[in-house]
Amino acid sequence: MGYYHASSQHGTLSLAFDLLARVGQILMLQFRRLWRSGRNGRNRRRIKLLLKIAIPLFVLYLIDLPIHLYRTRVVRPDQDLDQPFATGCLDPSVMAAQPRENATFVMLARNSEAEDARSTVLNIEWQFNRWFHYPILFLNDVSWTEDFKEVLSRAVSNETEVRFEVIEKGKWGFPEEMNEKEKTKAKLQMKKQGEKGISYGDMESYHHMCRFYSGEFYNLEALRPYKWYWRLEPNVRYSCALTYDPFAEMAKRNKVYGWTIALWEMGETCPSLFKTTDDYRIEKGIPRTPAWNALYQVMWYPAPVRWFLGFFGVPEHDNSGIKWNMCHYWSNFEIANLDFFRSDKYQDYFRYLDSKGGFYSERWGDAPVHTLAVHMLLPPEKIHHFSDIGYEHDTLWQCPGNAPMDQQLLGNKAFGDTGKMTAPSEGGTGCRCKCQEDKRRRNINSQCTSELTRPAAHHRPSWWQRHNGYYHYAVNNPNNPSQG
């Protein structure tokens, strides 16, 4: 979870930059002093010596830089590998009659969140599930109250199944193998995070939640019957009608992971996560791919500086000293294939992370963990951006432009009265979207969206567009309503 880009300031990183700047400054000052001091033979010999040192170093840098950029490039595919599953509205009564997938909604909630959970359920029922009737599974780490169950059971349509499950022992909380001494240490580390002002750093239940959603969640008995899940959160809003079955489309198009919002993680929450993941990648012999390289921030430093950053384990850098761009998918919305997260390769990665203790010594979130795993283990064509879904959570949201009016199926009886919708826009894909029009941005900054979709994008923002802060709303769709 993250709201903005907040790179940490670290002593070793500052030292590297200071040393590099100081060496360059010394060389330039010496050269200028010698050049101005006279034309005698001694000074000319010093100038020649200085040039003999500086010129080869500069040549080596010119050789190293293109090699480094080539190795970390994000190869452009021959065609766009991801597109919206639909443009505008489809007839929901026709689409709901098609074969269904073995799927469920999942919401982790507290008993005290009954009204917020009800708000979400009423909204998703109206925008989608009143036609498709996929079951909704509610999870809690304690027993449900009768009041919560009654309120939520009344919020769904008659044909929608609702289940209320308690997370089984061993799936929530500290790892079972942790002893009391280790738990005490973890609690002290969480307390220190709170003292540093790290968001949710001193909230033990939040750490448990991040660990749970990172791995234990997928092995729940309650989820065992299903192949697909759609994650819901209390008090979120879907602002567009969804008239096709996303589970069926994901299966049909061989997709594995679907998302709506990409943004920067807060660096202080997980300073060692990227290097730890890179350690795992190297240990398992997993090669760098275009998807993995999309996680890199372009670096122009010469090789010795990168080696320094990697050798000393500078936060947010991998073993070769390349910085993570901090972009990740906001996992409070996910539509994904459970088989991937249950697989040996993902579960092995999660157990490796769990053994390092970062879910408590730091505040490793499930969102960056999922993102790093998806980009390490999946090819780009398996990842889908639901750019046609309007989604709002907290202060961030995605709301696509509406498709033209002739694609809104006005008068279709299956919709009923959906009220006034946002005016269509060029490149719009949405179905009867109602976007909030106020002083806030209609969509979050699309830089991370653009960065993470590059492996799937043949059509990309130009260098000049990126330089001027203009990023595409989705693959092959430059018409971001937030830019208008």
Give dist(CA 192, CA 111) in Å, integer.
29
Give dist(CA 45, CA 35) in Å, integer.
11
Closest CA relative to residue 324, chosen from 363, 274, 262, 271: 274
Distances in whole angstroms, Cα of residue 260 to Cα of each of 329, 440, 474: 8, 18, 10
DSSP 95-143: HTTSPPPSEEEEEE--GGGHHHHHHHHHHHIIIIIHHH---EEEEESSP
Give dist(CA 472, CA 298) in Å, integer.
19
Strands 228-232 and 103-108: parallel
Confirm if 341 and 218 have CB atoms less than 8 A apart: yes
Closest CA relative to residue 213, chosen from 323, 106, 93: 106
From 113, 265, 268, 334, the catalytic residue? 334
φ/ψ of 262, rounded to 5, equals: -120, 140
Task: Decide if 176 is catalytic.
Answer: no
Rounded to the nearest angstrom, the gap between the alpha carbon of residue 370 and the centroid of all alpha carbons in its chain is 7
Distances in whole angstroms, Cα of residue 143 to Cα of each of 173, 204, 341, 431, 447: 15, 19, 26, 39, 42
Q: Retrieve residue 168's tokens.
A: 């089984």
CA max distance for the chain:
97
Q: Which residues are catalytic?
A: 334
